[in-house]
Amino acid sequence: MTLLDAFFHPKSVAIVGASNDTSILRGKLLKNAIASAYDGPIYPVHPGGGTMQGLEVHRSLGAIPGGAELVLVASPGKTVPDVVREAVESGARAAVILSADVDEVALAQAVGDSGLRYTGQNTIGLLATRGLAATFSGAAEDALEAGFPAVHPGRMISIVSQSGGLGMALFGRGLAQHLDFHAVITTGNESDLECLDFIEQLVEEGQSGVIVALIEGLKTPSRLAPIAAKAADAGVALVVMKIGSSQAGQRAAISHTAHLTGADTAYEAMFDRYGIIRARDQDEILAIAAGLARFPRRRVRKAAVISTSGGAGAWASDILGNAGIDVPLLSDGLRCDLDQWVPSYGSTENPVDVTAAVIGDGGKSLMQVFERLQDTDEVDAMIVNLGLQLPGRIDKLSPQLAPVLANATKPIVFTSHILPIDENLTALAGMGSVGFSTFSQCAAALKGIERYAAFQERWRARETHAPPGMTKLPSLSPGVLDEQATSRLIAAYGIPAPPAALVTDRGAAAQVAAKMGFPVALKIQSPDIAHKTEAGGVRLGVADGQAEAGFDEIMANARRHAPEARIEGVLVQKMMPKGHELVIGVVRDPDFGPLVMVGAGGIYLEVLKDVVFAPPPISRQEARRLILSLKIAPILLGTRGQAVADMDALADLVSRVAELARTETGIEQIDLNPVFVYPQGQGVVAVDALAVACGVDTRTQHHG
């Protein structure tokens, strides 16, 4: 028996704390279970015996013949450990603990090593639309009374939520939008089972094409990567509303990279790696889920806007453009074809103003527009704005519209600038499409399809990575690495750096500089001074005859800045010619392990925050995608006649740093800042490096 079977299709169910009064939550719990599609025996349990809502009441769990496989617990919190202990003794395999204020220690002792799994405490419960409703939710009660519609042959949606109220409310909103749901699961305090357990089970079960998750934080973050990878392999889209801040917090920030991490940095990086689409509110998350559930999952970079109102079409085009979806001017040939079906006082440019006249012939003209736009590669999707406020509008079009939608190879999304009535939205849902009340929802649906299709392309083409190699610096003292250790570290991973030498007196500084060739840079070296410039410990462009004085100056500055600092000497480094200035770094997140950062460097690094994070391993292809996502990418590609940067060398460097990050588990933070990127074919160089050791092996799961 799987986890989902134990909760959705158990052999028998007992409800402890059930009530005959359906106006209270404990009564609704029994009412919903009875009204659900579950066809097994349901046993109310109460010391008084008798009957409840037409069912015989048993005085205890032990009194149920053969016991109950699933126990729903809604009794007062102080009674729950004893109830669970009795459930274990009577052979129960699963429990839903809806009660709150339960003693966690006593609960764990009651479960012991029995193998019983439970969700809660403090959960609203769960339901399967074709199985058991183990919840007192009012939204579930209303849905059960109305009856669930026949399942659309597309991909069903499941909801997994740590918040019971938000999860069930989202379910109610989705039903009002005629979405097809498979399951709704709320996990409460996650004393035992967590949201990731249910997400994994839903992926493996194969009934859900889209899983919507509402999370505040993950109980076991290391499990996200393998479960999300399993979903990606199965083509199950994950759409997440991440609520609140990371509970893990942030370690001491020594490097620039660590300063630039925020509460959600690691989650964003993990979501991007595994194609998890993040939404910001209820309308957006349901629109994305609807798009992924109802329409072909293909790239959507260009869309046609078809409207009976010219102004509404222009408005929709603006919203699509802001979402990154182009509304291109259609070619002369395509416009000539459309002119046959669009009145002369309309427009076929795109937006396509078909005017209200195309509805008058039963939709034949409108269908011709759809068919022609289906056949062209000039657009990838269509938004259709009709007056969905009129009764019978879609029913009258259905003889023409139904076969077009059934055979559609592109998303065709409907909306209405006048508030649509439910009749028309129901009719569209029955034909496998969806109608929205705002242009923003249309854009969210199409953007969600585009993002997931683009991710699947990357996922299928991704490189496989061997396990990380042996650590090359096995024993590190906590804190900032000295020059020797830092140099060995970056050299071990083939990270290009300028010629450099550490000196301890002014005469050696002059000799080394002369041998290296002027100009040189002088940099104070101390494990206690992380940011050399702030300490006055850097001199750039040191020319012949200036090395000795420069040595004296920065030594004095360093001692004045940090009198107790351990000074190892001064690094004499060959001055490298300027290139495009970037920063590459590593920070170790307590939840997800190492994250690699790539960003625009220079003095604006922490002001503009043009950075992107990703977990290792990072292939060269993936590194290039990350670089191209930066705002400075057009500059690197050669804006206004400038030379194209050596993107191959830069991508290779990012990939090497990622390999360092996942192999050297004793490294806490790294900054390569600045990294100079030279014109194509001339390479890159990490001009300065800072590495911080955590002093212990913090090896966590490696992201594949």
Summarised one tens digit per residue, pLDDT across range 357-389 is 877 788 899 999 999 999 999 999 999 999 899
Q: Please, which residues bridge with residue 51 across strands?
A: 56
CATH number for domain 1-119, candidates 3.40.50.720, 2.40.10.10, 3.40.190.150, 3.40.50.300: 3.40.50.720
Closest CA to 208 of 294, 290, 272, 293: 293
Summarised one tens digit per residue, pLDDT across range 628-686 is 999 999 999 998 778 999 999 999 999 999 999 999 999 999 999 999 999 999 999 99
Q: Which CATH superfamily is domain 499-574 in?
A: ATP-grasp fold, A domain (3.30.1490.20)
Residue 151 CA to residue 143 CA, distance in Å, equals 14
CATH number of the domain located at residue range(s) 580-693 in this protein: 3.30.470.20
Instruction: Say which range, 151-160, 187-196, 212-221, 415-424, has the weakest mean pLDDT.
Output: 151-160
Q: Three-state DSSP class for 356?
A: helix
Angle formed at CA 448 by CA 214 and CA 591, multiple of 5 degrees: 40
Please determine, for residue 240, whether its predicted confidence score (pLDDT) is greater than 90: yes
Residue 190: pLDDT band (50, 70, 90) is very high
Whether 36 contacts 132, CB under 8 Å: yes
Q: What pLDDT does residue 249 have?
A: 39
CATH number for domain 149-294, candidates 3.30.9.10, 3.30.360.30, 3.40.50.2300, 3.40.50.261: 3.40.50.261
Whether 353 contacts 305, CB under 8 Å: no
φ, ψ (nearest 5 deg) of residue 15: -120, 110
Q: Three-state DSSP class for 656?
A: helix
Q: List helix spans (H) across 546-646.
A: 547-561, 605-608, 620-628, 633-636
Residue 520 CA to residue 500 CA, distance in Å, equals 9
Residue 349, classified by CB atoms within 10 Å of its CB into exposed (0-12), middle (13-18) or buried (19+), is middle
Q: How many CA atoms lie within 13 A of 183 on its CB side?
A: 29
Q: b/e map of 386-406 (b: 16 or more CB within 10 Å)?
A: bbbebeebbeebbebbbebbe
Closest CA to 135 of 91, 179, 206, 187: 187
Mean pLDDT value of segment 5-32? 96
Please determine, for residue 246, whether its predicted confidence score (pLDDT) is greater than 50: no
Mean pLDDT of the chain: 92
In the chain, the percentage of residues whose pLDDT exceeds 70 is 95
Please determine, for residue 697, whether its predicted confidence score (pLDDT) is greater than 80: no
Q: Compute the 3-state secondary structure of the chain and give helix, strand, coil in percent, each to the nearest 5.
A: 40, 20, 40
Q: Three-state DSSP class for 253?
A: coil
Residue 574 CA to residue 515 CA, distance in Å, equals 10
Q: How would you list the strands of the sheet with 381-385, edge to edge?
A: 352-353, 303-307, 381-385, 412-415, 435-436
Residue 542 CA to residue 547 CA, distance in Å, equals 6
Which structure tokens are listed for 390? 């009129």
Q: Which amino acid is at 412?
A: I
Residue 216 CA to residue 248 CA, distance in Å, equals 12
Mean pLDDT value of segment 608-621? 94
* Domains in the chain: boundaries: 1-119, 149-294, 296-461, 499-574, 580-693
Q: How would you list the strands of the sheet with 538-542, edge to edge?
A: 500-503, 569-574, 520-525, 538-542
Q: What pLDDT does residue 361 have?
A: 83
CATH number of the domain located at residue range(s) 296-461 in this protein: 3.40.50.261
Closest CA to 183 of 195, 34, 444: 195
Task: Report CA-CA distances (Å) from 38 to 91, 134, 145, 186, 402.
Answer: 20, 10, 15, 19, 33
Q: Which amino acid is at 446?
A: L
Residue 258: pLDDT band (50, 70, 90) is low
Q: Is 659 left (phi over 0), alpha (psi -120 to 50) or beta?
A: alpha
333 C-beta neighbours (distance < 10 Å), count: 10
Do 296-461 and 1-119 have the same topology in CATH? yes
